[in-house]
Amino acid sequence: MGTVVAFGAALAAAIVLVPVARRASFALGVLDSPGALKVQREPIPYLGGAAVFVAVAIALAPTHRAWLIPLALAGALGIADDVRSISPRLRLLGQALVGVVAGVVVSAPGPAGVAITAIFVVVLVNAINLIDGMDALAASVVVMSAFGFALVGGGARVPAVVVCGALIGFLVFNRPPARIYLGDGGSYLLGTALALLAASTLGTQPRVAWIAVPLIVAVPLADTAIAILRRVRAGRSVLAGDRSHVYDQLADRGWSIGRVVAICAVAQLLVALVGLLCVHLAFGASAGVALATIALGGLGVWRMGFVGREVTV
């Protein structure tokens, strides 16, 4: 299946399936209710990730059928967490098992390739889960990351385009004010998808791809790192939820949801393009560009006060 056809199939399937998932969420009572960390005013359907998975499966089945196994397992684990909250230890174990399956399907290069892919899964599943706290945010950022993987090319091109198509279709219904959420099923699915794209890219591109890949998923990784640092400085558990993520702080400063989503998505696109540049540079130059980008980003985050002691819960 060509990239254009794969994109169109995923896009069309998502546009058709997301309303179905929305009705199913109401019928089954799988809803995200308002709460301390939930800013919406009424329950919102939670099964958007299920629709995204089916859309991805329709488009990927002809060429990447094996990918659907870890993606399905990740989505199922997330939906189970949505329906009945799973303990952190059991959740981490489940993510690791999904990671091992993903590593068997798409192993990163080297003798520890399966383990590396598994680590990618655990890290990115939690990173996407953390950034999924605002209408359209996680889906928009992942679209930009997937677009970056598609531009780098290699074995990740078609699946990356499929992820873009499915998420753009989902965003029709997830844009502010959202009528449906990804839920943990969707964030686990997307984190696993990015891990598979990363492993596939590393296996089909020069070794400088090891420098480029973290840049292509930089925004979720940076948000997670900032959250951990902020909680440590505040003397709180790194596993404790809060409303002091970068996107929360921007909203507290008066930014609209649309503006926050746009700046995060554009930031991810720009850094992904830097990653694309790194793929075409010599190793030393690529490392220099990446380190400069990370240093500038870190300085900006610090100067803007995103890493403070105050944590809003």
Any domain includes 147: yes
**Number of folded domains that form the chain:** 1
d(CA 75, CA 186): 6
DSSP-derived 3-state class of residue 206: coil
The percentage of residues in the chain with a pLDDT greater than 70, rounded to a whole number, is 94
d(CA 62, CA 102): 18
Any domain includes 313: no
d(CA 125, CA 121): 6
Taking the CB of residue 225, how many other CB atoms lie within 10 A of it?
A: 14
Looking at per-residue pLDDT, the higher value among 36 and 4 belongs to 4
- 258-261: list long-range contacts, CB under 8 Å, 24+ apart: 258/176, 260/134, 260/137, 261/134, 261/135, 261/136, 261/137, 261/140, 261/176
Can you give the pTM of this predicted structure?
0.94
Range of the domain at 188: 3-303
Any domain includes 27: yes
DSSP-derived 3-state class of residue 234: coil
Reported as a single tens digit per residue, the pLDDT across 100-122 is 999 999 999 999 999 999 999 99
Given a cut of 60, is residue 36 above it in pLDDT?
A: no
CA torsion 127-136-301-37 (nearest 10°) is -70
Any domain includes 42: yes
